[in-house]
Each structure stands twice: as C-alpha cells, then as structure tokens.
Amino acid sequence: MKRRAVFMDRDGTISEEVGYVNHPTRYRVFPYSAEAVRLLNGAGWLAILVTNQAGVARGYFTEDLIGEVHGRLERELERGGARLDALYYCAHHPTVGEIPYRFDCDCRKPKPGLIKRAADKFEIDLKQSWMIGDRYSDIELARNAGTRAAFVLSGYGRGEWEYQRAAWKHEPELVAENLLEAVKIIVQSPKSNVQS
C-alpha cells in the first residue's frame, strides 16, 4: 500500500526565516518543530523536507554547508524524539551562477521534482499527502505535485496572507498558525473525510 507523506518547507516553516543561512550558527529551528515531526512519526506519516537553496548557485555557500545545517536540524529534532524520513534540496538557479548549478532544473520549487523524487523512492500516495509552507510558491508546489496545501503564518506567511492573498490563483486547503498547528489538524483528519 502506498504511504502518505507530509512534505515541509524549511526556512520559515520548520525553522526561522533568516535570509540566506550562510553559516550554521544562523540556523534556528522553531521550538515546536520536534513535536510536530514526532506527531507525524507516531501517526505513520512520512516526514520529508523540501527546500530551495539557490544560495549555492549564487555562490553564497556550498552544498557542504547545507549538509551541516541539515545535520544540526536532524540532531535538534532527535533531541525532541523526532526524525525526518528524508531531506531534499534544490541548489540550482535557472539564470544565476556557474555550471553545474546554473541550470533550468526540474526541482526548483514550485516545480515538483523534489516531491516526485521522494514519491518514487518511498511509494507515496501524493493525493493523500500534504505540502506545508510559508510562501505562496509552496501552495503552487502542492498544486504542481498533486498534494494538498497547508499554509503557515510563520516566516513570510503572515505577510503573504494579509497583503498578497488577493492575487493568489490557488487557495490552500488549510491555513494554520505554524507547523505544529498544521500537523495537529492533518494527523487528526481521517483518510475518508479528506477530499482528494
């Protein structure tokens, strides 16, 4: 049987939006994120991070630094008894930087490449899955990948929700204060009661 997943954005969603994280010490995981991921682990949902890190293409930092930052994130979640099943990132940019990172890839969100890659590897039922993020582009990503969209008001969320929503082409299925509140609602929704 195919599994359900909650895909989540990184900056502004599981951790603070601080601009480019060009040093691991700038990285701050939200205090509620371990509980959110632990809830997903306990309820049998795959918990998968998907993030654009075009700072690599722009020459602001290396892929090694992304690895260090994600190591920090995983250790912090582990201290809270939580575990991500996978972390996927796109380091590309279509027009900026040097080859191989200057590249019109299929994985720069809102393109669905990262989610498609995960769906193949973990045999995920995308229609029963969610994408959680703090930008409108995360909602577009959900549409492009065929998941449901949950919008959080952390990070850029509140500003986008209050000032830019009028221009949105798609509405999210769920709006929540933050990752934990979104996850609480998602894990409580029985399969059959959620529209696909």
**Annotated catalytic residue 11:** yes
- Cβ proximity to Zn ion: between 45 and 61 the closer is 61
Q: Which does residue 85 bind out of Mg ion, Zn ion, none, counting CB within 5 to 8 angstroms by kind?
A: none
How far is the C-alpha of 9 from the C-alpha of 109, rounded, in Å?
10
> Which listed range, 70-78, 86-94, 128-136, 139-147, lies at the site for Zn ion (CB under 5 A)?
86-94
> Quick check: 11 binds Mg ion (CB under 5 A)?
yes
9, 85, 134, 138: which one is catalytic?
9
**Annotated catalytic residue 9:** yes
DSSP string, 68-133: HHHHHHHHHHHHTT---SEEEEE--BSSSS-TTTB---S-STTSSHHHHHHHHHHTB-GGG-EEEE
- Cβ proximity to Mg ion: between 12 and 97 the closer is 12
How far is the C-alpha of 152 from the C-alpha of 179, rounded, in Å?
6
How far is the C-alpha of 46 from the C-alpha of 113, rounded, in Å?
17
Of 34, 73, 87, 107, the one binding Zn ion (CB under 5 A) is 107
Q: Which does residue 11 bind out of Mg ion, Zn ion, none, counting CB within 5 to 8 angstroms by kind?
A: Mg ion
